[in-house]
Amino acid sequence: MKRTPFVRNQPTAAVRPARIKPVATPLTRPVRYADPANDPGARLAKPEAHRNPFLLSMARGQRCLLQVAGVCNDDPSTTVACHSNWSEHGKAGARKADDQYHVYGCSACHRWLDQGPAPAGEKRERFMAAHSWIVLIWRDIVAGMVPATPKERAAARWALDRTRVQSSLG
């Protein structure tokens, strides 16, 4: 038995207007944003990130400055530069804090600082105590009281200069 092709319904000729009129009239007044922060013209430029890779590399082999009781592994081979998690130090979204706001921390203390269940106030207090300690270390390096290479002295001086600028602005 031979199949016959499927017969499609042909559209009937509908009466259409010559021109379709717009439903809404174009906006004639300027757009007013409810919140000035949403105004594209009022956006502030992002602050420049302050990076110093050599300063961060100085953390290798150092002892942990966070020393969280019950968490710290006291292993200098796992020590890294732990950046601040607070916006006044340049942290924003996926952006890290500026490099002058870091402390030496073992891998366990670093995990505790970034993802641990401790209250934010306790983390902040621990970080700021360690940061004041690292500032003293940088001062000793710059003063020549600690043996250091010229690159380490330059990196420590850079960090001290940046923290002075930030503290004078704040």
> Would 93 be classed as within a structural domain?
yes
pLDDT score at 134: 96
State yes or no: pLDDT of 105 exceeds 70.
yes
Establish if 117 belongs to a structural domain: yes
Domain with 132 in it: 53-169
116 close to 109: Cβ distance less than 8 angstroms: no
In a domain? residue 125: yes
Structural domain includes residue 26: no
In a domain, 162, yes or no: yes
CB neighbours of 139 closer than 8 A, spacing ≥ 6?
A: 156, 160
Domain count, the chain: 1
Whether 168 has a pLDDT exceeding 60, the answer reads: no
- The DSSP element (H or E) to which 82 belongs, if any, is strand 80-83
Residue 161 lies in a domain: yes
Name the band, by pLDDT with cuts 50, 70 and 90, for residue 147.
Answer: very high
Cβ proximity of 81 and 62 under 8 Å:
no
pTM for the structure as a whole? 0.71
Flag whether pLDDT at 169 surpasses 60: no
